[in-house]
C-alpha cells in the first residue's frame, strides 16, 4: 500500500516537472548568468559598450566585498576589515570616493571555515553583485574559492595572505593578486639572516602543517643554503593548543636559533614557554603575520624582547612620517583610540590605498578587465606608509617583494634591517642568490 502511494507521488511529481518545464520555456533567456556574459571577461573589453552593466558599478557606487574572519580562531585579524572599511568611509567623505563613485565594502564573516567561505563568496558574487573581491583573508578558505572566482571573471584583489599559491602562476590565475610578501620570499630573507648571523651553528624550524608552513620552510632552507645545520623540523596542526612539545624538542636538539612559522597566539605562547618555563634564552625569528603588537601583548614586552621578523611599513610611533600622520588622522575619524594603531591597521591602510589607486587607474568607466589592467600597470608605486615600492606586471602579481627585518625593542617594533629585495623573481626561481641587499628608506631607523 505504502509503495503504491509513493509511486503515485513520484508519478505526479514527474508530471508536474514536465508541465513546469514546458510552461517556463519563455524564461529561458533569464537563465543565463549575468556574470557569464563575455563582455566582462573578454581580454580586450577595457571599456564597457554602452548599455552593458558591469556588476557592482553604478553611476554613484562601487561595490567591493570580502570573506574574512570576524569571529573564529583567527578573529584577531578582524581589525583589518574594520579599518579598511573606515578608510573607505574616510575617502568617501573627504574625496567623494573614487572617480565620483563612493565605495561600499561588504564584509562577510566566514569564521575561517572553508565551506562557509564558499557560501559567502558565492553570495557576494551572485546575490550582492560585487565588482571585485578585495583582501580576502585566510589561506585554506581562500583556496576553496579561488578557481570559482577565475571562472566567474571576478577580480580577486590583494588577498590577505602570503601563500605562494596566489602569485606563483599569474597565467593560470590571472585575476588573483597578493598583498603580503610571499612566504617563501619572506623566509628566504630570514634564512639569509640566520646564515650571516649564526655561521656554523644550529637552527630549528616550527611550522604549521599546511602550505603556509611548507612555503616558509622552503624559504628558510634556501636562505640558509646549508651553511647552518638544521637540527629540527617540527610541524604542528592549526588545531593544536600550543607549541610546547615542539619547543622542548628543539631545546633538546640544542638549536642556536628558532624559526616559528605560525600565527600570533601560538607564536607568543611558544616564546613564553621557552623563556619563562624552560629559561631558554634562544633568539626567535617569527613570521610577518605574527610580527605585530598582538603577539607582544600575549607574550609580554620583556619576554618577546629581541625577537626578529619581517616588516613592510613604517611604525605607528614614527609620528613625524607623513603617512603615519595620515594614519593617525584616519584612526581618529574611525573613532579608534591611538593605542589601537598597530602593524595590522598599518597593513590595512596599505591594502586600502592600493585598492583606491587601482580603482582610480581603472578610469571613469571601470570594467573588471580594466581593473586587472590597472593593477598590472602599477610600477614603483608607494603607499603612504610603505617602506618599499609596489610593482606589478602581467607576469608578477606579487606586490611586496622587498623585505626588511624588524625587532621587538622596549615594547615596540623597530625597523632594524637589513633589507633584501627579490623584486620580479618568480617563486619557483628563488634562491639565496636572488636576494639583493637594499638600504632602509630614510627615517626608518629610530
Partner 1 sequence: MSVRALLQPRFLWLSLLGVVLIVFPYVHGWPLFDGSIRNLGFFTLEITEFRTFNATMFGVWLLVAMSMNLLTGTSGQISLGHAAVVLVGAYTTGILFDEFGVPLALAVILAGVFTGVVGGLVIGLPAARLSGPYLAIATFSLIITLPQILKLNGINSWTNGALGIGIRPVEPPNLVNDFLGAVTRDAVSLNERQWIYYVTIGTAVLMTVLLWNITRSRIGRAFVALRDSEIGAEQMGVNVPLYKALAFGISSFYAGIGGGLFFVVQTFVAPESLRFNDSILFLVAVVIGGLGTILGSVFGALFLAFQAEVISNLPDWIPGLNNVRDFERLSPVIYGSLLIATILTFPRGLAGIVQSLLSLRRGGGIGAMDLPALSAIRGTLRNLSASLPGNSDADDSGKKE
Among 107, 268, 330, 387, binds partner 1 (CB under 8 A): 107
Give me the least distance between CB of 118 and partner 1, in Å please. Answer: 5
Q: Output b/e per residue, 409-437; b: 16+ Cβ within 10 A.
A: eeebbbbbbbbbbbbebbbeebebebbee
CB distance 145 to 121 below 8 Å: yes
Our CB check for partner 1 shows the closer of 164 and 313 to be 164
Q: Please report whether residue 171 would count as binding partner 1 according to CB under 8 A.
A: no
297 lines the binding site for partner 1 (CB under 8 A):
no
- Three-class SS of 377-439: CCCCECCCCECCCECCECCECCCCCEEEEEEEECCEEEEEEEEEECCCCCHHHCCHHHCEEEC
Residues 42/108, Cβ–Cβ less than 8 Å: no
DSSP state of 319: T
> Is 140 among the residues that bind partner 1 (CB under 8 A)?
yes
Contact residue for partner 1 among 39, 169, 211, 414 (CB under 8 A): 211
The Cα–Cα gap between 146 and 143 comes to 5
Please state the closest distance from residue 395 (CB atom) to partner 1, in A.
22
In 3D space, the residue among 229, 42, 73, 74 whose CA is nearest the CA of residue 161 turns out to be: 74
Which residue, 169 or 305, has its beta carbon nearer to partner 1? Answer: 169
Of 45, 47, 61, 114, the one binding partner 1 by CB under 8 A: 114
Residue 227: all three cell numbers together: 651553511
Binding region for partner 1 (CB under 8 A) out of 79-87, 90-98, 401-409, 426-434: 79-87
Nearer to partner 1, 9 or 276 (CB): 9
The sheet with strand 132-134 has its strands ordered as 102-109, 61-68, 132-134, 156-159, 176-178
Residues 36-75 as x/- pattern, contact with partner 1 by CB under 8 A: ----------------------------------xxx--x
Q: Which residue has the cell 574572519?
A: 69
The single residue among 135, 144, 263, 402 that binds partner 1, judged by CB under 8 A, is: 144
- Residue 9 in the binding site for partner 1 (CB under 8 A): yes
Give the sheet arrangement for strand 402-409, strand by strand.
229-236, 202-208, 257-261, 284-286, 308-311, 402-409, 412-421, 436-438
Q: How far is the CB of 143 from partner 1 (least distance, A)?
A: 6
- Within positions 190 to 209, which residues make up the interface with partner 1, using CB under 8 A? 209
Answer yes or no whether residue 249 interacts with partner 1 by CB under 8 A.
Answer: no
From the list 55-63, 123-131, 318-326, 341-349, the region that binds partner 1 by CB under 8 A is 123-131
SS3 assignment for 139-198:
HHHHHCCHHHHHHHCCCEEEECCCCHHHHCCCCCCCCEEECCCCHHHHHHHHHHHHHHHC
143 lines the binding site for partner 1 (CB under 8 A): yes
- 146-171 per-residue burial string, b: 16 or more CB within 10 A, e: under 16: beebbebbbbbbbbbbbbbbbbbbbe
Residue with cell 637589513: 418
Q: Which residue in 54, 55, 104, 108 binds partner 1 (CB under 8 A)?
A: 108
| 3-class DSSP assignment, residue 67 | strand
The distance of closest approach from Cβ of residue 296 to partner 1 in the complex, given in angstroms and rounded to an integer, is 21
Question: Given the rule CB under 8 A, which of 5-13, 194-202, 254-262, 368-376 is the region that contacts partner 1?
Answer: 5-13
Q: How many residues bind partner 1 (CB under 8 A)?
A: 61
> Which residues within the stretch 214-243 sit at the binding site for partner 1 (CB under 8 A)?
214, 237-239
If the CB atoms of residues 18 and 278 are measured against partner 1, the closer one turns out to be: 18
Q: Which of 109, 186, 353, 357 binds partner 1 (CB under 8 A)?
A: 109
Which DSSP letter does residue 28 get?
G
**Closest Cα to residue 313, out of 290, 347, 345?**
347
Q: Which is nearer to partner 1, 47 or 119 (CB)?
A: 119
Query: Judged by CB, which is closer to partner 1: 6, or 276?
Result: 6
Q: What backbone torsions phi and psi does residue 366 show, to the nearest 5 degrees?
A: -65, 140
Look up residue 338 and give its DSSP letter. Answer: G
Query: Does residue 26 touch partner 1 according to CB under 8 A?
Result: yes
Distance CA(10)–CA(66), nearest Å, equals 43
Stretch that binds partner 1, among 111-119, 350-358, 375-383, 390-398 (CB under 8 A): 111-119
Closest by CA position to 192, among listed 388, 354, 30, 434: 434
Q: Is 17 in the site for partner 1 (CB under 8 A)?
A: yes
20 contacts partner 1 (rule: CB under 8 A): yes
Q: Which residues here bind partner 1, judged by CB under 8 A?
A: 4-6, 8-9, 12-13, 16-18, 20-22, 24-28, 30-33, 70-72, 75, 78, 81-82, 85, 107-111, 113-116, 118-120, 122-123, 125-127, 140, 143-144, 147-148, 151, 165, 209-211, 214, 237-239
Amino acid at each position: 500500500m505504502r509503495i503504491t502511494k509513493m509511486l503515485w507521488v513520484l508519478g505526479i511529481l514527474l508530471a508536474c516537472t514536465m508541465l513546469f518545464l514546458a510552461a517556463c520555456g519563455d524564461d529561458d533567456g533569464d537563465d543565463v548568468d549575468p556574470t557569464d556574459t563575455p563582455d566582462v571577461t573578454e581580454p580586450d573589453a577595457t571599456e564597457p559598450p554602452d548599455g552593458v552593466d558591469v556588476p557592482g558599478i553604478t553611476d554613484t557606487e562601487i561595490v567591493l566585498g570580502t570573506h574574512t574572519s570576524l569571529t573564529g580562531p583567527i578573529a584577531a585579524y578582524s581589525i583589518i576589515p574594520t579599518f579598511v572599511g573606515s578608510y573607505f568611509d574616510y575617502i568617501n567623505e573627504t574625496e567623494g570616493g573614487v572617480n565620483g563613485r563612493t565605495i561600499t565594502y561588504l564584509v562577510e564573516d566566514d569564521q575561517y571555515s572553508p565551506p562557509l567561505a564558499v557560501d559567502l563568496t558565492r553570495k557576494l558574487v551572485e546575490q550582492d553583485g560585487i565588482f571585485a573581491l578585495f583582501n580576502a583573508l585566510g589561506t585554506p578558505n581562500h583556496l576553496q574559492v579561488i578557481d570559482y572566482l577565475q571562472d566567474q571573471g571576478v577580480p580577486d584583489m590583494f588577498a590577505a595572505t602570503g601563500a605562494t599559491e596566489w602569485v606563483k602562476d599569474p597565467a593560470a590565475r590571472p585575476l588573483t593578486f597578493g598583498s603580503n610578501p610571499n612566504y617563501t620570499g619572506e623566509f628566504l630573507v630570514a634564512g639569509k639572516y640566520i646564515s650571516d648571523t649564526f655561521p656554523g651553528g644550529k637552527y630549528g624550524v616550527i611550522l604549521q602543517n599546511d602550505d603556509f608552513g611548507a612555503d616558509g620552510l622552503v624559504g628558510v632552507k634556501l636562505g640558509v643554503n646549508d651553511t647552518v645545520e638544521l637540527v629540527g623540523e617540527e610541524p604542528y596542526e592549526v588545531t593544536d593548543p600550543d607549541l610546547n612539545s615542539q619547543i622542548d624538542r628543539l631545546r633538546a636538539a640544542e638549536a642556536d636559533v628558532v624559526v616559528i612559522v605560525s600565527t600570533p597566539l601560538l607564536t607568543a605562547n611558544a616564546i613564553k614557554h621557552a623563556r619563562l618555563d624552560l629559561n631558554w634564552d634562544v633568539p626567535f625569528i617569527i613570521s610577518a603575520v605574527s610580527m605585530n603588537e598582538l603577539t607582544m601583548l600575549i607574550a609580554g614586552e620583556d619576554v618577546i624582547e629581541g625577537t626578529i621578523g619581517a616588516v613592510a611599513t613604517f611604525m605607528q610611533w614614527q609620528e613625524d612620517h607623513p603617512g603615519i600622520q595620515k594614519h593617525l588622522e584616519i584612526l581618529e575619524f574611525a573613532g579608534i583610540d591611538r593605542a589601537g594603531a598597530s602593524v595590522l591597521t598599518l597593513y590595512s591602510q596599505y591594502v586600502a590605498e592600493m585598492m583606491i589607486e587601482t580603482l582610480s587607474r581603472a578610469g571613469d568607466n571601470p570594467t573588471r578587465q580594466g581593473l586587472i589592467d590597472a593593477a598590472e600597470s602599477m610600477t614603483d608605486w608607494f603607499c603612504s606608509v610603505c617602506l618599499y615600492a609596489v610593482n606589478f606586471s602581467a607576469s608578477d602579481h606579487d606586490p611586496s617583494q622587498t623585505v626588511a627585518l624588524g625587532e621587538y625593542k622596549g615594547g615596540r617594533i623597530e625597523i632594524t634591517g637589513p633589507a633584501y629585495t627579490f623584486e620580479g623573481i618568480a617563486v619557483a626561481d628563488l634562491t639565496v642568490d636572488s636576494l639583493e641587499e637594499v638600504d632602509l628608506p630614510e627615517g626608518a631607523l629610530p
